[in-house]
Amino acid sequence: MNNNILSIIIGFLLILGTIISYGVQFHKIIINNSINGINLTSIVMGTISSSLTMYASILLNLNKLEDFTIKLDVSQLIIVCFCWLLYSLIYIFCIRKNKYIDLYHYNEPNLNRPNNKYIYGLFFSSWIIFICFGLVSFIIPDSIIFINIMFFISSFFSLLQWIPQIIESYTTSTISTLSLITLSINTCGCILTVIYQSIINGEKILLVIPYIVSAILQIMIIFILKCKTPRPIFDFTSDELIRL
């Protein structure tokens, strides 16, 4: 099996895995009507990282988009970016619908509850970055410096994005809405990408470090969620219920 056929197979697997994994997470949030245990900072970092990777990859392959394999790779990055943007929208929608800011960590007295400015500031910042970098990409599509800057920023956020979620998962004692299926599929996707890019395509290890780190951190989150014994989210007194 040549590399071109293998690239197509892996490309379709990554696209299918992305749709299934985020679909499971979105379904769990909607069914439970809760975002408890899900960290917005990680979502914002993921949104920024995926957006800049998408833009940089599109600009870098503008002259090669007639190649089906290249189209498949770019399409996968577009879908990932769309999923992260949708993730942030669902998070904010759940907050607005349930006034989740008031409920957030109500039974976690030692934690600081996020306020309106923090939550909406993060949300709008990710969308501002998404729009601004998109406009600049349209204005200077041939700038290699700009493409490299986007790749650098994307890698930086990709390395850091799961750290806030680890802290959230470790410190929150209530039942988390974070999907283990989503984390497992994402981890497998990262490992598959590392194997394909480093072993089959012979890419430098530096290019796949973000995927390696992401896989390790997501495995840590899975381990934390599996080992903890959470208490029900609705664990408050009648007086607190009346007040809320």
Which structural domain, as residue segments, surrounds residue 94? 3-243
pLDDT at 244: 38
For residue range 16-57, list pLDDT tens digits in order: 999 999 999 999 999 988 888 899 999 999 999 999 999 999
Number of domains in the chain: 1
> In terms of pLDDT, which residue wins out, 158 or 101?
158
User: Who's near 148: CB < 8 A, 6+ residues apart?
Assistant: none
CB 27 within 8 A of CB 195: no
Q: Which two tokens stand for residue 61?
A: 């392959």
In this structure, which amino acid lies at residue 66? Answer: E
pLDDT at 206: 66
The pTM of this model reads 0.85
Q: Is the dihedral of CA 180, 167, 47, 14 positive or negative?
A: negative
Whether 116 has a pLDDT exceeding 90, the answer reads no
For residue range 172-195, list pLDDT tens digits in order: 877 889 999 999 999 999 998 888
Q: Which two tokens stand for residue 87?
A: 């993730």
Q: Which residue reads 């399409």 in tokens? A: 75
